[in-house]
Amino acid sequence: MSRHHVAFLIAFGPEVRAFLYSGLVARVAERRLVSIVTAHPGSGAFLSLERIPLIVMSEGGEANMLQRARCWSGVLHEEWLRSCGRQRWRHYLPPPGRPGEGAGRFRPLARVLARIPGVPRLAHWAENRYALSAGTQCEWKRLYQQGGIDCLVTSSYASARTLPAIQTAINLGVRTVILPNSWKDVYSKPYVPATPDRIGVWSQSVASDLTAANPHLPKERIAVCGSLHLAALAGHSAVMDRDAFCRKFGLDPARPMICYTAAAPAAVRNEERIVEALLEAIQSGAIPHSPQLLLRLNPMEDGARFRGLGERYRSLRVQKPLWEWSERQDWCCALPEDTELWRAAVYHSAVNVSIASTVTLEFAALGRPVINICFDLPEDQPASSSNKRFWEAEFYREVREAGAAAPAFSLPELVALIAEALEGHLRQTMPPTLFPVSSPVQAAADLIESALAA
């Protein structure tokens, strides 16, 4: 058998869980030569790697004219989607004092052009033809040729950081496989500018949505692989003992634990007010069974917004994720030790409280009830910035319909649902039909093999 060389591109950090901690890299390495290409070869996530070389990632971007062409084509595609009754999902709120995303003077024209039959597809064709002639980036070309790389595996198909790698691979005949990190990626980045050999998505619903949003994308290149993200969580046979876990965070093992998982600070407003109201309900006895609250901070924050709550509420304990985070370098990466602590937090919690997110799936996958925050404090926010927008998002439709989480649309409803969960009456789990692939790691490895054989 030919020992094809497969390179996994870890450009942002979260791919570590999907590629490394799930066991996918190890599985592919059983049959193929494997390397990891990353901008952070000194990351603690790679310390335990054996016999897998690290290659420093090229930071070279695409030519300016190609970047402009991609921008115009992307805006035209977004306006075409809008004309079809669909809007791109925006996870983060615009910074204070700045408007939302736009494309300046081109957007009004794009709005008109998008409604002319055939124009968006023609724009993509022109972009693609230009990329074939002008999209070979010299540093990535050198990396592929010197490393003898036959296949590139990455998580993002639309980032300015990964597009030069993908386009250069396509131009050189290097196979390309995209395995998105999250099931919401397809909704936040619905346009696939450079057509890869294979894309592995979480579910059939995601596959259908991706196909509908990209008429130029051959259906046979899209496969349902399930969630490598969840495979990384469930792939550990042993769970840290409850007493040991509680000692680590100053928790009482005899009392039920509510795990509140904080959202990204840039995506929500006034979340600390919700945590404070929940702590007040616990302290006042409105929530039965004397629970304690473990607040797991978002990896992309230092926890400053919650400071002071621990001094006022004795039932609060804080877990800071063991992640590397650099906003300047756009790097957010889980360390191996965090996987054990996170799995224990999920396993030993009586219930999870969170704004709708991937965390819902992690708790539901281990049979823990989840309550999603669908309200704002101290007053309602506009629909574009309300916490409710996550629950109502198109990417969350499968979770809503499957009943994998209970929505709380007010503080009294949240208190009542937590009480119900602590009494053992709230029993949502993730139905097997939500992500039907039983072995995501094997499915992803088979997808890579099919790309190599194509």
pLDDT of residue 182: 85
Dihedral, 249, 255, 256, 260 alpha carbons, nearest 10: -30
Instruction: Tell me what pLDDT residue 100 has.
Output: 47
Domain 237-422 has CATH 3.40.50.2000: yes
Question: Residues of CATH 3.40.50.2000 domain(s) within the chain?
Answer: 5-62+135-227+437-453, 237-422
Q: Report strand pairing: 222-224 vs 370-373.
A: unpaired
Give the pair of three-digit tokens for residue 80.
């075409």
Give CA–CA dist 274/253, Å, rounded: 25
Q: Closest by alpha carbon to 8, among 44, 54, 45?
A: 54
């049959």: which residue's tokens?
31
- For the stretch 60-107, pLDDT in tens is 899 999 999 999 999 999 999 999 988 888 888 877 655 445 566 788
CB 332 within 8 A of CB 14: yes
- Furthest CA-CA distance within the chain: 68
Residues counted in the chain? 454
| Backbone Cα Rg of the chain | 23
- Check residue 97 and give its pLDDT: 54
pLDDT at 96: 63
Distance from the Cα of residue 58 to its chain's centroid? 23
pLDDT at site 235: 64
Nearest CA among 66, 76, 188, 48 for reference residue 130: 66
Tens digits of residue pLDDT in 350-384 = 999 999 998 988 998 888 999 999 999 999 999 99
SS (H, E, C) the chain: CCCCEEEEEECCCCHHHHHHHCCHHHHHHCCCEEEEEECCCCCHHHCCCCCCCEEECCCCCCCHHHHHHHHHHHHHHHHHHHHCCCCCCCCCCCCCCCCCCCCCCHHHHHHHHCCCCCHHHHHHHHHHHHHHHHCCCHHHHHHHHHHCCCEEEECCCCCCCCHHHHHHHHHHCCEEEECCCCCCHHHHCCCCCCCCCEEEECCHHHHHHHHHHCCCCCHHHEEECCCHHHHHHHCCCCCCCHHHHHHHHCCCCCCCEEEEECCCCCCCCCHHHHHHHHHHHHHHCCCCCCCEEEEECCCCCCCHHHCCHHHHCCCEEEECCCEEEECCCCEEEECHHHHHHHHHHHHHCCEEEEECCHHHHHHHHCCCCEEEECCCCCCCCCCCCCCHHHHHCHHHHHHHHHCCCEEECCHHHHHHHHHHHHCCCCCCCCCCCCCCCCCHHHHHHHHHHHHHHC
Regions of the chain with pLDDT less than 50: 1, 99-100
Q: What pTM was computed for the model?
A: 0.93
Calpha distance 3→92 (Å, rounded): 42
Q: How many angstroms from the chain centroid is the CA of residue 303? A: 21
Give the contacts of 412 (CB within 8 A, at least 6 positions apart): none
Tell me what pLDDT residue 74 has: 92
- CATH code of the region 5-62+135-227+437-453: 3.40.50.2000
- Residue 249 and residue 454 in contact, taking contact as beta carbons nearer than 8 Å: no
23: left (phi over 0), alpha (psi -120 to 50) or beta: left
Burial of 390 by CB count in 10 Å (0-12 exposed, 13-18 middle, 19+ buried)? buried
Tokens found for residue 96? 């204070």
